[in-house]
């Protein structure tokens, strides 16, 4: 039961972010929403690890976290350079 | 107009593909027959012998001692594919450096360093490097392996480039690593051919499934791949972050 | 479901390839297509109630129902190969940009 | 000596010739004389019963009288023409290659005439074609070779397709076996006949496949035009005989619709042959280049040959074969004489020449004899063959064809007279004052050929008797001769008698000419018009626009060449279009094509 | 123990939802970064911690993950905010202070 | 050398957190950490004093709880704003001075600012931090970082 | 140790090594290729297991009558090509080693997915090698389409995997022949993927840009060796593994026929030497594909062999000409062979073989194509094949006449000055061209060995006892 509530919240967060991704209006707004979504996804992977009782998902979450960070700063750098 | 036509075409194609895959008798959902096929033998590690069942941290001296079955396939059952895959990346890195041969000056973003980022990135780089090495040394036990591990190493190099204006990776040492890792991979294959019977044969004892030291040559191969991929990705990144110098 | 999503991504990629005249966008379209393809491949290995094909302390026996590991291995290879081609094509794109000062084929005076 | 040895020997000789020519052009060109002459010697010594020899792999030959006849004709032409080769060594761009290809084309023709299996026949046919094709651009035109080869290949491929249709039905390439079976498969047979007929037409230069002939013959090196016209086009006649006489064509066509008592297909062939005669004649009349003129005359003469073969009866077939021989010899000689003039003057254009009779009387005589033979005037061999053909036409009541043939004969007077008067008679041009008679080794073969024309015009029966035997071999009643006379349908022809009559008349005329010789020769530069000195007398050279009034009658004739050019242009356009569509693209377009193709194929799957 | 876990996880998920909402509602990019980053970071912490309570043996890895998030998320947000600042992105009408040349990140060659 | 050792310790620690503390892993992690530390030594600027354990304890037991507390408060604040239909905000850019000199210290401070009530660090320049504030209260500008500054000043220099 | 895996492993190992042993790159390359070219003569025909896992569980290499001769031809020609361009290969030594491994992998592998990997290796190597010609935009087209193609191929085999649970060719073939639902779409996707590589219309938009500017090095490599290998692969997949039937055969054959005809039409109007050969290559690919689809594998093999050798010489010579003259516009190449006759003769022999004249190998190819087509009761295809051959004959002869003769139309050559420039082409190139030309000549007079081998090769894909071929020795067998 609880799991539905949890995933319901996660889904709401995800959907709202996604709406922002679609709406923009500026490119940076979309990037911000991507960044937010990445955090949500990282959290979701952790949730899945618990759900599937598989510690290996945490490795994935860590790697995802690192890569998401990289993505964010690359885009930020790019945006910054492209005034 | 062109867009509408294109959309129409793609939709028609989609429709045809959909019907031939899911409607006209040929059913992509049929997955049961697969379990009786190749993969089944991979999972039970009974390609060369008949294993009833394999148990974590119990079964020993299997044909393939990797707890991660995907890794078993990638670096053992179909290790030849992986050698090819490594070669593709190798080629790509050579290709990038040849195409961008005139691009030698470091690319500078117009902005000065972000100090928050600069300091933060160092922390993350250290973490990421450990993570990368962890991944390719544990490929036979956990998800990941040489490719993601190597990519993370490459990613940390990228992070250094992004955060520090004066950073240049030492490409020469990366070249050495890349070259040696590749050569050793091939050599391991050939050793298999000569010492044992087949190319890329897993000629080391495979130990106990799930142990850190197990699975014969698999972790070795994955370490090689990790180093190779890491150095290649780094090389590619280095190439991309340089700009053309008028000669 | 994932299969259909994969197919749709492939189609979107195709659409992009057909309509885009900017070489970076073409590379992106190709990548979308490849992502769709990879999704499709992974989905082919899906098995009802299957678990990730890794033996752990919890899932400790090969007698359990695993998803098909082979497509995952194939996807790994496909991803890396795709990464290689993408890197190479981006390098080409940069080189082309250096010569033509644009990424757009129409602006390069390429004969239609 | 066996046929196999001769054929293989000639092929080997062609290589040897190349090597020798590389060391000494002269020695190589002598080999081109010796090769055909030695081969001819063997054929004559062994007679038509020459042994075929053991086979080498698929190379298997069978001795036939028909093959012997064609081979000997060919060897006479090749042997005589070869005497010119040494003189041309310096003029040719690739002399060694010329010598090699000369022998190779000969080997090709001989091999083809004796082949027992279609593939071997085809192999040698193609060898003859491509060997000769490479010689043509050594002359004046590069395009001629391409046109020749393309048309010839068109014919060859039609032939090849026919061969394989038969192979598909009967599972064999054996000529006599396969052709013997044809009657059992009438549908296939008709296709085979049509396709092989096209091949014959193309090789022989029958309308509308004649356009390559003036181009190739007219532009080939002067030493090779005689080979093309005298020798190689006769390959077409050989194929035609194969279609009509060896294949059971009349049996296959016996149920078909008939016109004038002949199967419609045969009648159509006759019509086409008649058109050839007319077109060839008309075009020949308007040529300024002597070589092109003879080439067009070959088109007309091919019409006669086809008529004879198509009717396939006692008189017509013997007439056709006689004509093959007579025309081969005569046109070779005619081309040689023009070649000799060209050797001395460097041109073959009638309007650039004139008065050559004064400088090259023997050459003139050779030319005269040849054109008399080609025009079918007694007492030359060409007369015999035409007489036989007219006899056959008359007996079939084919008046329309007969009329065409008659037109051709009359027209031939016009076209042979043009070079005669323009080139040999008329005023000598000042720049040709120093010209001498052709060298002796060029004169000898020309005289030999003329002698042959004359000899078989006077005493044809030795040859006709042999032709009769060939006819029997082909399953047609043989031509019959009585002493020196030939049996026709409505009477006897005694060529010897005719010759004596003509001879007497000629003597009379000569005496009159000599006794009444009061005319004064006027130099070309000694010309005034309206009391004004003509500074460019060439304009008023009477060989210029020789037949202008007649030509004006068909000035705006439809041009078949334009049709072909149009066809080629369509191929080019289509190629360009395709290239434009598929290659002037961006990656996106290619992707679009890929998607489209997949859709179409899948759609096809759904529909069927 | 797992009750604590569940509560933490639920709260975390709730923060995710709030973060999304903030992202959606906030009027300009700086405020969106504020709302989105903070809420989701806390959400991720909360969930990770909650999972740790459910599976105590996973704690080492989870701590690592938390540290990672704690370092990377604010840095990422800062980087994005800096980009927005440099680009002089549109700001909410009532924003005080401005794109201060004095504090604009230096251009190359200026420093 | 000090740089090297501190790098090595951090890397080894990270490894052990990921892999667990089995003997094999400890050994392998040690080897990996040594190699990586050698490689990274030249790039890694931070170093630790001999008092590292003390610093670490301070950091964990004083800084972290404060940080978590502030974080929770911050989020509740944001939640309140977001859930309020009127969206009561008064954003602005302000500058915050800091006395902390070490890069790592500044980073931690900036990160803390970002994750705490209503503020977002944009950039650091010398001794100033540029901050975006969601609800500007002029008089409190100086206090934004005060608590953290104190603690972090005790840990970093 | 006649292990075919060494044909892949040794070049790969050397390629990796050559990165650090920069100074001896070229010796390493030559050494590796020399080793391969010698090894090929000692390889036994059988299936070779990799990693100790018997197929279908592991990847295996297959050496059989179908690919053995191609392995020999390709490896030897590869070495020859490198020797002929030794001065140009230095920067590409590493990539060439990989390309050699890639081509061998394509020929050897018995696994569909492994084939995908080798397609990628070979294509990427090709992309990089083509940068030698500095046509980045055109190669980019090739990259995009090539990658799309391999993706389609991959999608196809994944669908087949979903259906049959195997990736091994022999295993797959057995299961398909065992009768099951035919996944049409998979076949079509695989076809589309390979069609790009074998240059079928309309999948071949990349070809022109890449090959019309190809050098004496990239031309033979891409236009001859790559093209040949890709066709061999096509035959392996469509002749040996998949079992096409019905409408699909017709549809795909139509594509082949269109390719054949369109290729010849385009070649006919081409004004540049290399453009002619690339269009001709397209046509020949169409022909080979038609034959494979019609199940006439043995003649398809003949077509491929003839095409590899003739295109090798033609691209080599054309590339050298373009390098010396600076362009390859046919109209400006009048009499170019007059001062380089040996090269001209080799070129001529090769061209004549290409258009199937007797005395040259191409003739027997043509005759056997017709025999095979008529034996399978085809009427239209041979007619179209002959039409294509007719067009081909016309442009090839036109080309040869131009290149041997000086002077304008209507001029007598003897009066024209011979060209004074000399076609400076190295001895090695001449020697190679002549040797290959002689091979075409010898096998044109005695083709039996090659033809009998091709029958054996065809029988590997699908056994057909009814095959009749025309050879010099035996006539019809
Ligand atoms: Na791909
Ligand atoms: Na099969």
D405-411 LR contacts (CB < 8 Å, sep 24+): D405/D274, D405/D277, D405/D303, D405/D304, D405/D307, D407/D277, D407/D278, D407/D281, D408/D277, D408/D278, D408/D280, D408/D281, D408/D300, D408/D303, D408/D304, D409/D375, D409/D376, D411/D278, D411/D281, D411/D282, D411/D284, D411/D285, D411/D300
Q: F59 and F39 in one domain?
A: no
pLDDT at residue number F43: 65
Q: Are the beta carbons of C70 and B39 separated by less than 8 Å? A: yes
- From CA G159, how far away is CA G144, in angstroms rounded? 23
Closest residue to D596, CB basis, from B9, B17, B20: B9
Interface membership of G155 toward B (CB under 8 Å): no
End-to-end C-alpha distance for chain E, whole angstroms? 55
- Of A43-57, E46-60, F102-116, G222-236, minimum mean pLDDT range: F102-116
Residue G180: count other Cβ atoms within 10 Å of its Cβ.
12
Q: Determine the residue among D576, D579, D589, D591 to mutate to test chain C binding: the one whose Cβ has the most chain C Cβ atoms within 10 Å.
A: D591
- Please enumerate in sequence order all residues whose Cβ is within 8 A of that of F68, keeping only pairs 6 or more positions apart, or say none: none
- Please enumerate in sequence order all residues whose Cβ is within 8 A of that of G6, keeping only pairs 6 or more positions apart, or say none: B190, B193, G35, G36, G39
pLDDT at residue number D496: 83
Q: F145 and F80 in one domain?
A: yes
What is the C83 CA–ligand 1 centroid distance (Å)?
9
Answer yes or no: is pLDDT of E109 > 50. Answer: no
- From CA D367, how far away is CA D424, in angstroms rounded? 9
What is the C82 CA–ligand 1 centroid distance (Å)?
5
Domains of chain C plus CATH, in order, are 2-46+67-108 (1.10.287.3510)
Of the listed ligands, the closest to the CA of G123 is 1
B118 pLDDT tier (thresholds 50, 70, 90): confident
Supply C8's token pair. Answer: 């749709």
Closest residue to C62, CB basis, from B44, B74, B81: B44
- Please enumerate in sequence order all residues whose Cβ is within 8 A of that of E43, keeping only pairs 6 or more positions apart, or say none: A13, A39, A40, A43, E11, E12, E13, E14, E15, E16, E18, E19
Q: Helix (H) and strand (E) counts for chain D?
A: 26, 7
CA distances from D484 to D194, D369, D457, D463, D497 (A): 39, 21, 11, 12, 9
Supply E53's token pair. Answer: 């309570």
F141 pLDDT tier (thresholds 50, 70, 90): low
Average pLDDT over every residue of E20-38: 86
| Average pLDDT across chain B, whole number | 86
Q: What angle do CA E33, E38, E40 make, to 5 degrees?
A: 100
Residue D344 lies in a domain: yes
- From CA G99, how far away is CA D545, in angstroms rounded? 69
Residues pairing with B60 in the sheet: B208
Supply G270's token pair. Answer: 């081409």
How many A/C residue pairs have CB atoms within 8 Å?
A: 13
Closest residue to B20, CB basis, from G113, G125, G184: G184
Entry field: residues in chain E: 111
Q: Find where tokens 């990140």 sit.
A: E105
pLDDT at residue number G477: 46
Q: Provide the residue range defining the domain that includes F96.
A: 52-155
Distance from CA of D575 to the nearest CA of B (A): 26
Read off φ and ψ for residue E41, nearest 5 degrees: -65, -50
Interface membership of D583 toward C (CB under 8 Å): no
Under DSSP, is residue F42 helix (H, G, I), strand (E, B) or coil? coil
Interface membership of B142 toward A (CB under 8 Å): yes
Distance from CA of B235 to the nearest CA of D (A): 28
Under DSSP, is residue B226 helix (H, G, I), strand (E, B) or coil? helix
Closest residue to D133, CB basis, from G188, G279, G397: G397
Residues of chain G with pLDDT under 50: 477
Q: Is D506 exposed, middle or buried (0-12, 13-18, 19+ CB in 10 A)?
A: exposed
Longest dimension (CA), chain C: 63
| Average pLDDT across chain E, whole number | 83
C112 pLDDT tier (thresholds 50, 70, 90): very low
What is the G129 CA–ligand 1 centroid distance (Å)?
19
Distance from CA of G47 to the nearest CA of C (A): 23
pTM: 0.91
Supply D20's token pair. Answer: 């020798």
Q: Provide the residue range defining the domain that includes D588.
A: 564-607
Q: D573 and D469 in one domain?
A: no
* Packed helices F64-83 and F103-115: angle between N→C axes, nearest 10 degrees: 30
Q: Is G444 exposed, middle or buried (0-12, 13-18, 19+ CB in 10 A)?
A: buried
Average pLDDT over every residue of C16-39: 94
Under DSSP, is residue B153 helix (H, G, I), strand (E, B) or coil? helix
Residue D184 lies in a domain: no
Q: Are the beta carbons of F16 and E37 separated by less than 8 Å? A: no
Interface membership of D574 toward G (CB under 8 Å): yes
| Residues of G (85-144) whose Cβ lies below 8 Å from B | 91, 94-95, 98, 101-102, 105, 113-114, 117-118, 120-121, 124-125, 127-128, 131, 136
A chain contacts of residue B158, beta-carbon cutoff 8 Å: 70, 74
E chain contacts of residue A57, beta-carbon cutoff 8 Å: none
Q: F56 and F38 in one domain?
A: no
Q: Are the beta carbons of C76 and B147 separated by less than 8 Å? A: yes
pLDDT at residue number B22: 82
Average pLDDT over every residue of E36-65: 89
Strands F128-133 and F119-125 come out as: antiparallel
pLDDT at residue number D11: 92
Of the listed ligands, the closest to the CA of C79 is 1
Interface membership of G167 toward B (CB under 8 Å): yes
Helix (H) or strand (E) holding D370: helix D361-375
Burial G311-331 (b: 16+ CB within 10 A, else e): bbbbbbbbbbbbeeeeebebe
Interface membership of A2 toward E (CB under 8 Å): yes
Helix (H) or strand (E) holding D67: helix D65-82
Q: Determine the residue among G139, G194, G202, G416 to mutate to test chain D binding: the one whose Cβ has the most chain D Cβ atoms within 10 Å.
A: G202
Nearest Cα neighbor of G117 from B34, C81, D231 is C81
Residue F123: DSSP 8-state: E
Q: Are the beta carbons of B10 and D596 separated by less than 8 Å? A: no
A chain contacts of residue C59, beta-carbon cutoff 8 Å: 54
User: Nearest residue of B to residue G1 by CA position?
Assistant: B194
Residue D573 lies in a domain: yes
User: Nearest residue of G to residue B25 by CA position?
Assistant: G181
Residues of chain D with pLDDT under 70: 517-545
Answer yes or no: is pLDDT of B35 > 60. Answer: no
Q: Are the beta carbons of A66 and B127 separated by less than 8 Å? A: yes
pLDDT at residue number C82: 94
pLDDT at residue number G304: 94
* Packed helices B171-195 and B79-99: angle between N→C axes, nearest 10 degrees: 150
| Average pLDDT across chain A, whole number | 89
Q: Are the beta carbons of F125 and B115 separated by less than 8 Å? A: yes
The more confident residue out of G376 and F45 is G376
B33 pLDDT tier (thresholds 50, 70, 90): low
Distance from CA of A53 to the nearest CA of C (A): 8
Supply D374's token pair. Answer: 């080609």
pLDDT at residue number F90: 82
Q: Are the beta carbons of G151 and C34 separated by less than 8 Å? A: yes
Helix (H) or strand (E) holding B104: strand B103-106
Q: D530 and D570 in one domain?
A: no
pLDDT at residue number E9: 93
Of the listed ligands, the closest to the CA of G124 is 1
pLDDT at residue number E110: 40
Residue G406: which region, alpha, beta or left (left: phi > 0; alpha: psi -120 to 50)? beta
How many B/F residue pairs have CB atoms within 8 Å?
A: 68
Interface pTM (ipTM) of the complex?
0.90
3-state secondary structure A5-71: HHHHHHHHHHHHHHHHHHHCCCHHHHHHHHHHHHHHHHHHHHHHHHHCCCCHHHHHHHHHHHHHHHH
Q: Are the beta carbons of F78 and E70 separated by less than 8 Å? A: no
What is the G294 CA–ligand 2 centroid distance (Å)?
13
What tens digit of pLDDT does each residue of G83-140 get? 988 888 889 999 999 999 999 999 999 999 999 999 999 999 999 999 888 889 889 9
pLDDT at residue number G420: 63
Q: Find where tokens 């495979």 sit.
A: B206
- From CA G364, how far away is CA G476, in angstroms rounded? 12
Residue F13: count other Cβ atoms within 10 Å of its Cβ.
15
B124 pLDDT tier (thresholds 50, 70, 90): confident
Under DSSP, is residue D139 helix (H, G, I), strand (E, B) or coil? coil
Nearest Cα neighbor of D118 from D80, D171, D163, D64 is D163
Q: Are the beta carbons of G412 and D140 separated by less than 8 Å? A: yes
pLDDT at residue number D313: 86
User: Nearest residue of C to residue B103 by CA position?
Assistant: C95
Q: D538 and D588 in one domain?
A: no
Average pLDDT over every residue of F34-40: 87
Nearest Cα neighbor of D84 from D348, D338, D363, D340 is D340
Q: Find where tokens 């998030």 sit.
A: E69
Closest residue to B53, CB basis, from C3, C15, C61: C61
- From CA D464, how far away is CA D489, in angstroms rounded? 16
Q: Are the beta carbons of E35 and F125 separated by less than 8 Å? A: no
**Tally of domains in chain F:** 2
Of the listed ligands, the closest to the CA of C77 is 1
């Amino acid at each position: 039961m609880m799991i539905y509530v949890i995933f319901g919240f996660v889904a709401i967060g995800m959907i709202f972010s996604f709406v922002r991704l679609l709406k923009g209006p500026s490119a940076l707004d979309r990037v911000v929403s991507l960044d937010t979504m990445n955090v949500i996804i990282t959290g979701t992977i952790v949730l899945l690890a618990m759900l599937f009782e598989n510690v290996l998902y945490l490795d994935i979450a860590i790697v995802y976290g690192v890569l998401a960070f990289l993505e964010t700063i690359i885009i930020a750098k790019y945006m910054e350079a492209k005034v | 107009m062109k867009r509408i036509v294109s959309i129409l075409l793609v939709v028609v194609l989609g429709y045809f593909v959909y019907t031939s895959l899911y409607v006209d008798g040929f059913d992509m959902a049929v997955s049961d027959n697969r379990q009786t096929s190749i993969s089944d033998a991979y999972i039970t590690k009974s390609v060369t012998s008949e294993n009833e069942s394999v148990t974590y941290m119990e079964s020993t001296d299997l044909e393939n001692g990797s707890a991660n079955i995907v890794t078993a396939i990638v670096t053992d059952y179909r290790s030849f594919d992986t050698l090819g895959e490594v070669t593709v990346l190798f080629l790509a890195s050579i290709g990038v450096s040849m195409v961008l041969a005139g691009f030698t000056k470091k690319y500078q973003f117009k902005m000065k360093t972000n100090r928050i980022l600069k300091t933060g990135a160092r922390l993350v780089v250290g973490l990421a490097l450990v993570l990368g090495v962890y991944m390719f040394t544990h490929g036979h036990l956990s998800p990941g392996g040489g490719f993601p591990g190597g990519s993370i190493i490459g990613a940390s190099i990228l992070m250094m480039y992004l955060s520090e204006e004066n950073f240049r990776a030492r490409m020469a040492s990366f070249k050495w690593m890349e070259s040696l890792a590749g050569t050793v991979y091939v050599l391991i294959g050939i050793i298999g051919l000569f010492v044992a019977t087949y190319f890329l044969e897993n000629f080391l004892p495979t130990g106990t499934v799930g142990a850190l030291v197990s699975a014969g040559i698999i972790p070795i191969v994955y370490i090689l791949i990790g180093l190779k991929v890491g150095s290649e990705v780094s090389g590619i990144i280095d190439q991309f972050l340089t700009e053309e110098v008028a000669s | 479901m994932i299969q259909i999503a994969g197919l749709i991504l492939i189609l979107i990629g195709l659409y992009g390839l057909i309509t885009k005249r900017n070489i970076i966008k073409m590379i992106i379209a190709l990548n979308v297509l490849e992502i769709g393809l990879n999704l499709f491949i992974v989905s082919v290995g899906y098995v009802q109630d299957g678990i990730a094909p890794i033996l752990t302390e919890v899932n400790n026996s090969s007698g359990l129902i695993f998803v098909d590991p082979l497509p995952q291995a194939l996807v790994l290879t496909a991803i890396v190969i795709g990464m290689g081609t993408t890197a190479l094509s981006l390098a080409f794109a940069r080189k082309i940009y250096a010569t033509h000062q644009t990424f757009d084929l129409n602006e390069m005076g390429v004969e239609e | 000596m066996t046929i196999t040895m001769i054929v293989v020997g000639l092929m080997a000789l062609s290589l040897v010739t190349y090597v020798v020519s590389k060391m000494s052009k002269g020695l190589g060109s002598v080999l081109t004389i010796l090769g055909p002459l030695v081969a001819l010697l063997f054929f004559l010594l062994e007679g038509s019963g020459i042994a075929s020899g053991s086979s080498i792999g698929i190379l298997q030959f069978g001795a036939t009288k028909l093959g012997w006849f064609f081979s000997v004709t060919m060897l006479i032409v090749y042997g005589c023409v070869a005497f010119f080769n040494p003189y041309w060594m310096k003029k040719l761009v690739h002399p060694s290659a010329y010598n090699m290809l000369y022998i190779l084309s000969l080997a090709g023709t001989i091999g083809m005439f004796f082949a027992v299996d279609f593939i071997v026949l085809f192999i040698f046919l193609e060898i003859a074609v491509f060997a000769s094709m490479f010689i043509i651009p050594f002359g004046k035109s590069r395009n001629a070779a391409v046109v020749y080869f393309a048309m010839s290949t068109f014919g060859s491929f039609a032939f090849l397709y026919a061969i394989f249709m038969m192979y598909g039905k009967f599972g064999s390439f054996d000529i006599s076996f396969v052709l013997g079976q044809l009657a059992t498969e009438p549908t296939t047979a008709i296709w085979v006949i049509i396709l092989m007929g096209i091949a014959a037409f193309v090789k022989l230069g029958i309308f509308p496949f004649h356009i390559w002939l003036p181009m190739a013959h007219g532009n080939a090196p002067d030493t090779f035009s005689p080979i093309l016209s005298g020798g190689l086009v006769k390959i077409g006649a050989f194929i035609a005989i194969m279609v009509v006489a060896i294949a059971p064509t009349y049996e296959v066509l016996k149920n078909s619709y008939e016109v004038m008592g002949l199967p419609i297909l045969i009648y159509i062939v006759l019509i086409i042959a008649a058109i050839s005669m007319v077109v060839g004649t008309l075009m020949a009349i308007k040529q300024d280049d002597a070589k092109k003129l003879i080439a067009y005359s070959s088109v007309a003469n091919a019409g006669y040959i086809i008529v004879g073969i198509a009717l396939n009866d006692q008189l017509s077939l013997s007439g056709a074969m006689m004509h093959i021989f007579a025309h081969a010899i005569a046109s070779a000689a005619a081309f040689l004489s023009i070649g000799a003039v060209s050797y001395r003057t460097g041109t073959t254009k009638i309007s650039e020449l004139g008065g050559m009779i004064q400088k090259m009387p023997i050459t003139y005589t050779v030319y005269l004899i040849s054109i008399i033979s080609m025009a079918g005037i007694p007492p030359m061999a060409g007369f015999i063959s035409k007489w036989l053909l007219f006899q056959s036409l008359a007996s079939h009541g084919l008046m329309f064809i007969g009329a065409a043939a008659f037109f051709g004969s009359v027209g031939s007077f016009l076209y042979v007279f043009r070079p005669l008067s323009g080139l040999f008679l008329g005023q000598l041009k000042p720049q040709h004052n120093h010209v001498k008679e052709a060298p002796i080794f060029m004169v000898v073969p020309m005289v030999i050929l003329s002698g042959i024309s004359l000899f078989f015009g006077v005493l044809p029966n030795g040859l006709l008797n042999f032709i009769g035997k060939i006819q029997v071999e082909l399953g047609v009643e043989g031509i019959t001769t009585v002493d020196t006379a030939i049996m026709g349908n409505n009477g006897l022809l005694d060529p010897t008698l005719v010759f004596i009559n003509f001879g007497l008349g000629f003597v009379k005329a000569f005496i009159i000419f000599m006794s009444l010789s009061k005319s004064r020769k006027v130099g070309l530069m000694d010309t005034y018009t309206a009391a004004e000195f003509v500074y460019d007398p060439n304009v008023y050279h009477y060989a210029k626009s020789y037949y202008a009034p007649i030509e004006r009658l068909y000035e705006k004739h439809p041009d078949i060449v334009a049709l072909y050019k149009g066809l080629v242009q369509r191929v080019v356009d289509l190629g360009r279009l395709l290239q434009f569509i598929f290659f002037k693209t961006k990656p996106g377009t290619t992707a679009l094509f890929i998607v489209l193709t997949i859709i179409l194929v899948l759609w096809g799957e759904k529909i069927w | 123990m797992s009750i604590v876990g569940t509560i933490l996880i639920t709260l975390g998920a709730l923060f995710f939802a709030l973060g999304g909402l903030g992202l959606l509602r906030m009027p300009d990019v700086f405020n969106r970064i504020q709302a989105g980053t903070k809420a989701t970071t806390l959400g991720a912490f909360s969930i990770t911690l909650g999972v740790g309570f459910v599976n105590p043996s996973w704690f080492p890895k989870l701590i690592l993950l938390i540290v990672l998030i704690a370092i990377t998320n604010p840095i990422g947000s800062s980087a994005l905010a800096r980009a927005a600042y440099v680009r002089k992105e549109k700001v909410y009408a009532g924003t005080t202070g401005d794109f201060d040349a004095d504090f604009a990140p230096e251009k190359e060659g200026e420093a | 050398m000090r740089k090297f050792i501190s790098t090595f310790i951090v890397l080894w620690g990270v490894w052990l957190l990921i892999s667990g503390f089995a003997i094999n892993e400890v050994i392998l992690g040690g080897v990996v950490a040594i190699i990586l530390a050698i490689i990274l030594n030249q790039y890694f600027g931070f170093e630790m004093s001999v008092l590292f354990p003390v610093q670490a304890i301070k950091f964990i037991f004083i800084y972290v709880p404060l940080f978590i507390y502030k974080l929770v408060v911050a989020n509740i604040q944001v939640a309140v704003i977001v859930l309020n239909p009127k969206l009561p905000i008064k954003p602005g850019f302000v500058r915050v001075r800091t006395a902390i000199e070490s890069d790592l210290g500044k980073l931690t401070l900036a990160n803390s600012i970002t994750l705490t009530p209503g503020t977002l660090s944009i950039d650091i320049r010398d001794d100033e931090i540029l901050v975006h504030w969601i609800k500007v209260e002029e008089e409190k500008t100086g206090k934004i970082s005060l608590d953290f500054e104190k603690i972090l000043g005790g840990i970093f220099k | 140790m006649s292990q075919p895996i060494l044909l892949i492993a040794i070049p790969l190992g050397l390629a990796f090594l050559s990165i650090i042993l920069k100074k001896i790159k070229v010796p390493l390359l030559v050494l590796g290729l020399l080793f391969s070219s010698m090894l090929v003569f000692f390889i036994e025909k059988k299936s070779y297991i990799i990693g100790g896992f018997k197929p279908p569980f592991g990847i295996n290499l297959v050496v059989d009558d179908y690919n053995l001769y191609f392995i020999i031809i390709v490896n030897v020609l590869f070495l020859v090509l490198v020797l002929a361009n030794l001065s140009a290969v230095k920067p590409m030594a590493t990539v060439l080693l990989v390309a050699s491994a890639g081509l061998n992998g394509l020929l050897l592998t018995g696994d569909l997915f492994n084939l995908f990997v080798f397609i990628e290796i070979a294509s990427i190597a090709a992309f990089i090698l083509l940068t030698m010609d500095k046509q980045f935009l055109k190669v980019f087209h090739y990259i995009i389409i090539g990658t799309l193609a391999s993706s389609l191929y991959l999608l196809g085999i994944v669908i087949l995997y979903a259906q049959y649970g195997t990736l091994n060719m022999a295993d797959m073939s057995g299961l398909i022949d065992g009768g099951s639902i035919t996944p049409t779409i998979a076949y079509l996707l695989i076809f589309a993927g390979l069609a790009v590589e074998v240059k079928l219309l309309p999948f071949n938009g990349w070809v022109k840009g890449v090959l019309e500017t190809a050098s004496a090095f990239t031309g033979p490599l891409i236009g001859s060796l790559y093209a040949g290998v890709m066709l061999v692969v096509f035959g392996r997949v469509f002749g040996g593994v998949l079992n096409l039937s019905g409408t699909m055969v017709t549809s795909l054959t139509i594509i082949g026929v269109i390719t054949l005809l369109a290729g010849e039409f385009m070649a006919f109007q081409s004004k540049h030497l290399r453009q002619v050969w690339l269009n001709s290559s397209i046509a020949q690919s169409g022909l080979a594909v038609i034959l494979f689809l019609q199940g006439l594998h043995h003649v398809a093999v003949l077509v491929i062999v003839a095409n590899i050798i003739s295109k090798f010489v033609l691209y080599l010579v054309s590339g050298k000409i373009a390098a010396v003259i600076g362009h390859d516009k046919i109209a400006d190449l009048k009499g170019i062979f007059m001062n380089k006759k040996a090269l001209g003769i080799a070129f001529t022999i090769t061209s004549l073989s290409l258009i199937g004249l007797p005395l040259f190998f191409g003739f027997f190819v043509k005759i056997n194509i017709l025999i095979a087509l008529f034996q399978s009761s085809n009427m239209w295809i041979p007619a179209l094949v002959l039409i294509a051959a007719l067009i081909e004959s016309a442009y090839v002869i036109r080309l040869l006449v131009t290149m041997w003769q000086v002077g304008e139309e209507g001029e007598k050559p003897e009066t024209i000055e011979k060209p004074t420039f000399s076609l400076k082409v190295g001895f090695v190139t001449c020697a190679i061209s002549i040797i290959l030309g002689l091979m075409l000549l010898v096998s044109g007079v005695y083709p039996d060995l090659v033809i009998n081998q091709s029958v054996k090769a065809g029988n590997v894909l699908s056994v057909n006892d009814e095959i009749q071929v025309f050879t010099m020795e035996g006539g019809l067998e």
